Amino acid sequence: MSHTLHRIKTENRKTDDYVVLIMPARGINNENSVEIFKKYMDLLIQYDPVNMGGIAIGNMAVNTLEEMKANITPEAPMVHAVYKDRDTLIEVMKALKEADYGYSVVVSGLVDDVDCCAKKAGIQRHSVDLTLGIWGDVSKLPPESILEVTTMCGHAMISANLVSKMAEDIKKGRTTPRKAAIKLAEPCACGIFNIDKAEALLTELAEKI
């Protein structure tokens, strides 16, 4: 799914952000999707995701696991979980393969990196979606250091100005990087915003002000 693809990654942060997306084929194998999504979430939570959730389900910045599971309806299109290191991702892939609950699983990250993780988990990838970057007039875009934070929400629900304000508040001691990262994660409806990575990025932004 394209909303998890367009994440800006700098050279030193290529292996700290992986999105796992799980989705049934509507009208084909989603008849018992509520219970099956709950099984997936119970599996995913065992590997300490830095965020999790889905549209109309909630995310870990504002909801508990039980609240998110209670919010799942037959109309829920998918669920997500975000992990911050390769070793954990490999273990998640192994667990998903073994569980074999029947839904499509998509992992977003750098192609070669994710492919390597899949092979270590005993999985041959089915297909690849690629992002071609940002085209057109990019002169009004915020700097890459801001985009690296905002693009972690695939539906552009996080304001660049709010990221700057959070960095300023951290600098002035009004909040902590962790609290600021959680605040930014709240509006990300899919739960794919990497809270741990945002905490580190906000710390760096505050130091540069």
Within the chain, residue ranges assigned H as helices are 33-45, 65-71, 86-99, 111-120, 144-150, 160-171, 177-185, 195-208
Q: Which residue has the higher pLDDT, 1 or 65?
A: 65
The mean pLDDT of the chain is 94
Cα diameter, the chain = 54
Q: Helix, strand, or coil here: 105?
A: strand
Residues 98-124 have a mean pLDDT of 94
Q: Residue 48 has what DSSP assignment?
A: -
DSSP string, 146-184: HHHHHTTSTT--S-HHHHHHHHHHHHTTSS-HHHHHHHH
For 108, what's the count of Cα atoms within 13 Å in the CB-facing half-sphere? 26
**pTM given for the model:** 0.93
Q: Tell me the per-residue pLDDT of 180-208, one tens digit each, with 9 for 90 and over.
A: 999 999 999 999 999 999 999 999 999 99
